[in-house]
Chains A and B, each alone.
Chain A
Amino acid sequence: MGRMCCVSVINTVDTSHEDMIHDAQMDYYGTRLATCSSDRSVKIFDVRNGGQILIADLRGHEGPVWQVAWAHPMYGNVLASCSYDRKVIIWKEDNGTWDKTHEHSGHDSSVNSVCWAPHDYGLILACGSSDGAISLLTYTGESQWEVKKINNAHTIGCNAVSWAPAVVPGSLIDQPSGQKPNYIKKFASGGCDNLIKLWREEEDGQWKEEQKLEAHSDWVRDVAWAPSIGLPTSTIASCSQDGRVFIWTCDDSSGNMWSPKLLHKFNDVVWHVSWSITANILAVSGGDNKVTLWKESVDGQWVCISDVNKGQGSVSTSVTEGQQNEQ
């Protein structure tokens, strides 16, 4: 039986950015939109009910702003941004006003990616830079941020960081209640050395390279660790300058056996991969300005279910999958 995927534009936001937009992210609830641009600004819009009200136009970066990341709302309205100006800025709303709350300038080159850790760990931000280092900022209270740095994580640059969801490996199903969850903090990074690396916090609080995933033959542009949906399998998507998108999965509890599966080889660089909240759809953004949506079929093959043509309304594509079991 065929399955339809329908993508329809429900809101178009004119950002009035004066240069290229590099990232657009919604908050936890999907009611606010943060954008950042080469015009050095970060903007926040209220997009509830199809509207678009500019809430904040944040100035502070001295170069193009590459990425924005919303913290979990339990920490209030907090947004991180990273820029070519080698800085990471953390913005916060207080009484309706957005302001810079922290500036991290510990990198020697462009900071390309920021990602907040799962909220269960506290307020922790991972930042990947073209100087090859990854820094981890941890909020320790009273406006203090503790910095840990992993030097030379990726030679000539780290392009992306993505945290693993907060799950306790192996004990997803029968978590003993009342016990302190034994989280193991992990994140993935991708860089100009064509590698994906998995990092893990040791008991002494130091970060250690746990795994090197090699399959790409050019810069790894993005990595995205899939949200946990209660299954013991961990999944990471990666995309590269070489046009390839890989889906990495790990089934064993030790977390050491990762196997790649080629989702597709595109003709152009693939810039970005993003998982849906339910982790079953992957959005792939390519250099030809095309966005495709992918879904794993019953027989484990990744199938393109839609091309999203921006600005031209919706395009729905019907893709026939393998036989769908009714039950």
Chain B
Amino acid sequence: MKLKEVDRTAMQAWSPAQYHPIYLATGTSAQQLDATFSTNASLEIFELDLSDPSLDMKSCATFSSSHRYHKLIWGPHKIDSKGDVSGVLIAGGENGNIILYDPSKIIAGDKDVVIAQKDKHTGPVRALDVNIFQTNLVASGANESEIYIWDLNNFATPMTPGAKTQPPEDTSCIAWNRQVQHILASASPSGRATVWDLRKNEPIIKVSDHSNRMHCSGLAWHPDVATQMVLASEDDRLPVVQMWDLRFASSPLRVLENHARGILAIDWSMADPELLLSCGKDAKILCSNPNTGEILYELPTNTQWCFDIQWCPRNPAVLSAASFDGRISVYSIMGGSTDGLRQKQVDKLSSSFGNLDPFGTGQPLPPLQIPQPTSQHGVVLPLKKPPKWVRRPVGASFSFGGKLVTFENMKVLPQQGAEQQQQQRVFISQVVTEKEFLRRSDQLQQVVQSQGFINYCQKKIDGSQTEFEKNVWAFLKVNFEDDSRGKYLELLGYRKEDLGKKIALALNKVDGSDVALKDSDQVAQSDGEESPAAEEQLLGECIKEEKQESEFLPLAGGTFNISVSGDIDGLITQALLTGNFESAVDLCLHDNRMADAIILAIAGGQELLARTQKKYFAKSQSKITRLITAVVMKNWREIVESCDLQNWREALAAVLTYANADEFSALCDLLGTRLENEGDSLLQSQACLCYICAGNVEKLVACWTKAQDGSNPLSLQDLIEKVVILRRAVQLAQAVDAHTVGALLAEKMSQYANLLAAQGSIAAALAFLPDNTNQPNIVQLRERLCRAQGEPAPGQEPAKHPYERQHMAKGRPGPAGHPQMPRVQTQQYYPQGENPPPPGFIMHGNVSSAAAPLPTPPGHMHSQAPAYPQPQRPQNGWNDPPALNRAAKKKKMPENFMPPVPITSPIMTPLGDPQSQMLQQQPSAPVPLSNQAPFPQPHLAGGQPFQSIQQPLGQTGMPPSFSKPNVEGAPGAPIGNTIQHVQSLPTEKITKKPIPDEHLILKTTFEELIQRCLSSAADPQTKRKLDDASKRLEFLYDKLREHTLSPTIINGLHNIARSIETRNYSEGLTIHTHIVSTSNFSEISAFMPVLKVVLTQANKLGV
């Protein structure tokens, strides 16, 4: 395919391969006159610009020369590594002269472009060649058997390769060997070729077929084989190319007889030794394989002869040919269509007229119809055989699982007749770049299997680089130990024994005088070096803050400090924080704070109260009244919400000591959220500790992710270790399946699994991938991992394939049996085209839960919700429904805190992202997701009505169970075993009262019912639900003990119990609905939903 043309009758030389961009130099030919018979001569340089679609060559410079040329070559001598200097143009003139030009000066337009000139030869200099090993060496040949070797660094005196050959003859060609730098060949029209060894300074071999018809017009060495060369003949009687091997110099190895008339020029491709160009007086330009003689390509030319032909050294697919009709043409041998080229020209043209819109129609110009070119197709076929430079020999590609696929192609020299055995092999390698990451991941997996969590945590504590890291691991470790609350307290710096000592000291030494107080400060300080040493280790930097005297802010609305300094206030605080009422009262009495003493004594029990009352004489005012109030009123939310965040540790300690099971997690969460939203990055990270206490994995992940750079595999490993351990802890504490995975956690876990997979640890990736989530990316990854392991995808049924297959029909015309090829089965495809699947689409897990249909639609609560009359609740309170916009929520939280009405019952709403919760699958959900309908609804409604109009609606719209697992799973929360530890605290303040006799019937009835259901329930899922319900009903019993339920609710509950006794469960459900719709939601939210589950199950099972 012709790329470019320029009308010149000229010798041509491509710029050297090293040089970019590609130039073509032309020098007026001495042998031919152009059409104008002009005798002017010039040296021109053109740039080959392939991005320009036109056929014109871009002229860069013209130098008017006094010479005409027989030969022009462009050597790379002095091209520097940057390519700034463009080498040397070497021209052979008419009168024995050799001229060196500086092409960069020609391009720059300088007048003084000649570097040097020598007139040493006799006659025209027709032969020139540059040594490719020593580019400063140039060989030249002229008449009288003259051959000179020029050193461009020392141009004055040329050398000769040896004695002149006899008889004297013209030297028409000269060529340096391509493999051995001191070997040179020359040839003459007489047909003889001589090979010179410059080291010996003599001809070493003469090559001739003795036919007298070989008139050498071309000579070329084999690019790869040192002993082979070709000679071309311009004699019409013998228009051949002979291939010679010097080892068998008696006759040619091969003779190519592809031309009908004399050959005028040849060029052997340096890029592919199987490509030899030749042009002849038969007006053909051929590309042949000199090793076989086969014609690979015939360039479409006009009828003119070409006298020079050259491969472009830099672009191996490009060649140029100079013809006698005064034209130099540039071709590509890769074929292709010239239509595109022409089209492009037309496009270019029309784009120039693009704005031409004379009628203002706004219509673009209609596309031009191009007249078809004379030949039928503008298509030019490429070479028969692909050139070497397109035959890719190597190609490593990555594939799934960190595998690298490479292949091997043995180097095969095409030898004639030699059948070479080749082994073409492909290698699949495993690439591992993150060894440390894999090692730690492996460790974690082992720990999970062996359950050696305490050991693991301890190792982590020992190996921690930072205090914070140490703290986090210490908190995690506590989850697996007895008396977790107590241990948490110790970690926060409240060790009971230490406090006891301090109090004893204070009581002994302090007499209320200032001096004594100072003493006690000192004592506390010196004390701090001994026993609290452990605290210091654990909570390092905080000790100092604790010792600072803090200002109390008595204003109710503001924040206040909880002082824990060594003075009396501090000691009282510490005593209170650890539940040591007796000591606190003693301290108050000692400090003459009778009111405090009495109030404390009331909370401390009858006996203490009595004792204290005796000593109560006058009212006293104190800065810590507020803390006392909180303790007495059991209003811990007050503390958590409004304490100075610098006192987060104290607040957390208070919660750990006092908070009820049902509010514990929420309080920890709340404190964590406050810390997280604080600007102080130190405090932000401390939020992690609160979330660990709360057992809130999702929030831990969110908080951690904010603080750490997650792109590094090892930092992700850091996070995953904690998450996995905490989840284990939650599972242990809860003793039920806690596999619920939120969106963020799922994202992190799948990131983690992806990383493992990328390191080839497919099995480990599968092990860590959360298994009962329905997030599409996880489901897809799981399927990919399973298949990669060589297993069938999870679940063989096609329905469980994460990608519904898009069947592609066979392209062949089907046989009679298949007249119609299956069309795309649109309804199944996922993801199909640009339609994303609806949320929850194709989620395996749901299929099973859908299998348990319930009489009550899952949207039941939701639809009932608008009836809830709850206008009085403050907006943006801590227990507001979670806002749908997480970011907005976070901003609002801290500034909009209002002291809410005292809580009489907790609302189990985590402050998590509801969207993340929506996607969770909840096997233990009391209201199974029989379909997805209720969940996308908040989305569709934009979330607004839920947020602004009916606050509780959001809560009710989401089954409470959704928000519970995190809460209930709090390892520190006194549930199950843990409650024993809390009760065994020496203070014994959380002892449960008995359920009033008149309400005991409720407990027995409900528990009997659950037992009945359990005995007839078949599937483990239902059993789990029932077990769960049984636990949750504890909330109800607690409220009964505390007499905190309104009479209406209690009446309603008794009605339900009666209907249970008559086995009329549907009546029970109706009563249930009535209670729910007429009561204060916060009062009942902890147990009513589970009660409904039990009733529903009972109804279903018919027990």
- Residue positions of A touching B, CB distance < 8 A: 3-31, 33, 35, 37-38, 47-49, 63-64, 66, 72-76, 78, 84, 86, 90, 92, 94, 99-103, 108-110, 112, 119-123, 129-133, 139, 141-143, 151-152, 155-157, 177-178, 180-181, 183, 192-195, 217-219, 242, 271-272, 274-278, 281, 283-287, 289-291, 293, 295, 305-306, 308, 310-311, 314, 324-327
Give the Cβ gap from B945 to chain A, nearest Cβ, in Å: 17
Given A7-B430, A276-B402, 8 more pairs with CB closer than 8 A: A15-B425, A33-B405, A63-B386, A131-B337, A192-B317, A275-B398, A285-B396, A289-B408
- Can you list 24 contacts pairing A with B, beta carbon distance less than 8 Å? A6-B433, A9-B427, A15-B407, A20-B409, A21-B407, A29-B787, A38-B391, A48-B790, A76-B806, A108-B336, A109-B334, A119-B831, A131-B334, A156-B1, A156-B3, A156-B315, A157-B332, A157-B334, A181-B834, A218-B315, A274-B397, A274-B398, A275-B398, A287-B394
Instruction: Please give, as numbers and ranges, the residues of chain A lying within 8 Å of B788 by CB-CB distance.
Output: 29-31
Instruction: Please give, as numbers and ranges, the residues of chain B lying within 8 Å of A278 by CB-CB distance.
Output: 754-755, 758
Residue of A whose beta carbon sits closest to that of B762? A30
Is B168 part of the contact surface with A, judged by Cβ < 8 Å? no
| Contact across chains for B805 and A314 when beta carbons are under 8 A apart | no
| Contact across chains for A47 and B428 when beta carbons are under 8 A apart | yes
Instruction: Please give, as numbers and ranges, the residues of chain A lying within 8 Å of B784 by CB-CB distance.
Output: 28-29
Instruction: Please give, as numbers and ranges, the residues of chain B lying within 8 Å of A20 by CB-CB distance.
Output: 391, 393, 409, 424
Tell me the bound Cα distance from A109 to B323 in angstroms: 27
| Contact across chains for A218 and B430 when beta carbons are under 8 A apart | no
Is B20 part of the contact surface with A, judged by Cβ < 8 Å? yes
Return the contact of B810 from the options A99, A109, A133, A325 (Cβ within 8 A).
Answer: A99
Given known A7-B429, A28-B784, A156-B318, contact A22–B392 (CB-CB < 8 A): yes
Is B380 part of the contact surface with A, judged by Cβ < 8 Å? yes
Return the contact of B429 from the options A22, A84, A121, A314 (Cβ within 8 A).
Answer: A314
Tell me the bound Cα distance from A45 to B727 in angstroms: 42
Residue of A whose beta carbon sits closest to that of B379? A108
- Considering the complex, which residues of chain B in the window 30-82 have a beta carbon less than 8 Å from any beta carbon of chain A? 50-51, 53
Tell me the bound Cα distance from A25 to B400 in angstroms: 11
Given known A7-B404, A20-B391, contact A192–B422 (CB-CB < 8 A): no
Bin chain B's interface residue count: 35 or more
| Contact across chains for B335 and A28 when beta carbons are under 8 A apart | no
| Contact across chains for A152 and B433 when beta carbons are under 8 A apart | no
Tell me the bound Cα distance from A295 to B402 in angstroms: 14
| Contact across chains for B836 and A24 when beta carbons are under 8 A apart | no
| Contact across chains for A10 and B429 when beta carbons are under 8 A apart | yes
Is B418 part of the contact surface with A, judged by Cβ < 8 Å? no
Instruction: Please give, as numbers and ranges, the residues of chain A lying within 8 Å of B790 by CB-CB distance.
Output: 31, 48-49
Give the Cβ gap from A183 to chain B, nearest Cβ, in Å: 6
| Contact across chains for A142 and B823 when beta carbons are under 8 A apart | yes
Is B796 part of the contact surface with A, judged by Cβ < 8 Å? no
Give the Cβ gap from B934 to chain A, nearest Cβ, in Å: 15
Return the contact of A26 from the options B400, B423, B427, B808 (Cβ within 8 A).
Answer: B400
Give the Cβ gap from B429 to chain A, nearest Cβ, in Å: 5
Segment at the A interface, from B366-374, B442-450, B707-715, B1068-1076: B707-715
Return the contact of A101 from the options B715, B787, B806, B811 (Cβ within 8 A).
Answer: B811
| Contact across chains for A26 and B812 when beta carbons are under 8 A apart | no
Is B435 part of the contact surface with A, judged by Cβ < 8 Å? yes
Encoded as 1 (CB less than 8 Å from any A CB) or 0, chain B from 849 to 892 comes to 00000000000000000000000000000000000000000000
Give the Cβ gap from B334 to chain A, nearest Cβ, in Å: 4
Is B518 part of the contact surface with A, judged by Cβ < 8 Å? no
Encoded as 1 (CB less than 8 Å from any A CB) or 0, chain B from 592 to 636 comes to 000000000000000000000000000000000000000000000
Tell me the bound Cα distance from A156 to B839 in angstroms: 49
Is B509 part of the contact surface with A, judged by Cβ < 8 Å? no
| Contact across chains for B396 and A283 when beta carbons are under 8 A apart | yes
- Considering the complex, which residues of chain B in the window 321-345 have a beta carbon less than 8 Å from any beta carbon of chain A? 332, 334-337, 339-341, 343-344
Instruction: Please give, as numbers and ranges, the residues of chain B lying within 8 Å of A276 by CB-CB distance.
Output: 398, 402, 431, 758
| Contact across chains for B317 and A310 when beta carbons are under 8 A apart | no
Given known A18-B422, A20-B424, A75-B806, contact A272–B396 (CB-CB < 8 A): yes
Give the Cβ gap from A322 to chain B, nearest Cβ, in Å: 13
Tell me the bound Cα distance from A129 to B407 in angstroms: 23
Given known A130-B334, A283-B404, contact A5–B432 (CB-CB < 8 A): yes
| Contact across chains for A110 and B821 when beta carbons are under 8 A apart | no
Instruction: Identify the 3 closest CB pairs spanning chains A and B, nearest first.
Output: A74-B803, A26-B399, A131-B336
Return the contact of A14 from the options B379, B380, B423, B714 (Cβ within 8 A).
Answer: B423
Instruction: Please give, as numbers and ranges, the residues of chain B lying within 8 Å of A217 by CB-CB distance.
Output: 20-21, 83
Instruction: Please give, as numbers and ranges, the residues of chain A lying within 8 Å of B391 by CB-CB distance.
Output: 20, 22, 38, 64
Tell me the bound Cα distance from A281 to B315 in angstroms: 31
Tell me the bound Cα distance from A25 to B432 in angstroms: 19
Interface centre among A16, A290, A326 (most CB of B within 10 A): A326
Is B156 part of the contact surface with A, judged by Cβ < 8 Å? no
Instruction: Please give, as numbers and ranges, the residues of chain B lying within 8 Å of A289 by CB-CB distance.
Output: 393-394, 408-409
Give the Cβ gap from B764 to chain A, nearest Cβ, in Å: 15
Return the contact of B808 from the options A23, A92, A285 (Cβ within 8 A).
Answer: A92
Is B833 part of the contact surface with A, judged by Cβ < 8 Å? yes
| Contact across chains for A308 and B428 when beta carbons are under 8 A apart | no
Tell me the bound Cα distance from A139 to B829 in angstroms: 15
Is B118 part of the contact surface with A, judged by Cβ < 8 Å? no
Instruction: Please give, as numbers and ranges, the residues of chain B lying within 8 Å of A64 by CB-CB distance.
Output: 386, 391
Encoded as 1 (CB less than 8 Å from any A CB) or 0, chain B from 403 to 442 comes to 1111111000000000000111111111111110000000
Tell me the bound Cα distance from A275 to B399 in angstroms: 9
Give the Cβ gap from A262 to chain B, nearest Cβ, in Å: 14
Instruction: Please give, as numbers and ranges, the residues of chain A lying within 8 Å of B408 by CB-CB distance.
Output: 21, 289, 310-311
Return the contact of A112 from the options B390, B407, B715, B809 (Cβ within 8 A).
Answer: B390
Given known A155-B3, A327-B715, contact A78–B394 (CB-CB < 8 A): no
Is B395 part of the contact surface with A, judged by Cβ < 8 Å? yes
Tell me the bound Cα distance from A225 to B386 in angstroms: 27
| Contact across chains for A151 and B400 when beta carbons are under 8 A apart | no
Return the contact of A308 from the options B396, B423, B824 (Cβ within 8 A).
Answer: B396
Instruction: Please give, as numbers and ranges, the residues of chain A lying within 8 Å of B844 by CB-CB distance.
Output: none
Instruction: Please give, as numbers and ranges, the residues of chain B lying within 8 Å of A156 by CB-CB distance.
Output: 1, 3, 50, 315, 317-318, 332, 334, 336
Instruction: Please give, as numbers and ranges, the residues of chain A lying within 8 Å of B708 by CB-CB distance.
Output: 327
Instruction: Please give, as numbers and ranges, the residues of chain B lying within 8 Å of A110 by CB-CB distance.
Output: 334-335, 382, 386, 390
Is B706 part of the contact surface with A, judged by Cβ < 8 Å? no
Tell me the bound Cα distance from A27 to B787 in angstroms: 11
Residue of A whose beta carbon sits closest to that of B53? A152
Give the Cβ gap from B725 to chain A, nearest Cβ, in Å: 18
Tell me the bound Cα distance from A63 to B547 in angstroms: 85
Instruction: Please give, as numbers and ranges, the residues of chain A lying within 8 Å of B425 by CB-CB distance.
Output: 12-15, 311
Give the Cβ gap from B903 to chain A, nearest Cβ, in Å: 34
Give the Cβ gap from B362 to chain A, nearest Cβ, in Å: 16
Is B835 part of the contact surface with A, judged by Cβ < 8 Å? yes
Tell me the bound Cα distance from A133 to B915 in angstroms: 47
Instruction: Please give, as numbers and ranges, the residues of chain A lying within 8 Å of B803 by CB-CB distance.
Output: 72-74, 119
Return the contact of B428 from the options A13, A151, A242, A325 (Cβ within 8 A).
Answer: A13
| Contact across chains for B386 and A141 when beta carbons are under 8 A apart | no
Give the Cβ gap from B333 to chain A, nearest Cβ, in Å: 9
Is B1089 part of the contact surface with A, judged by Cβ < 8 Å? no
Is B1100 part of the contact surface with A, judged by Cβ < 8 Å? no
Tell me the bound Cα distance from A325 to B1 in angstroms: 57
- Considering the complex, which residues of chain B in the window 790-825 have a beta carbon less than 8 Å from any beta carbon of chain A? 790, 803-812, 821, 823-824
Give the Cβ gap from A190 to chain B, nearest Cβ, in Å: 13
Tell me the bound Cα distance from A281 to B396 in angstroms: 12
Residue of A whose beta carbon sits closest to that of B336? A131
Give the Cβ gap from B298 to chain A, nearest Cβ, in Å: 16
Instruction: Please give, as numbers and ranges, the residues of chain A lying within 8 Å of B787 by CB-CB distance.
Output: 29, 31
| Contact across chains for A101 and B812 when beta carbons are under 8 A apart | yes
Residue of B whose beta carbon sits closest to that of A141? B824
Given known A22-B391, A192-B317, contact A6–B405 (CB-CB < 8 A): no
Is B93 part of the contact surface with A, judged by Cβ < 8 Å? no
Return the contact of B431 from the options A66, A75, A90, A281 (Cβ within 8 A).
Answer: A281
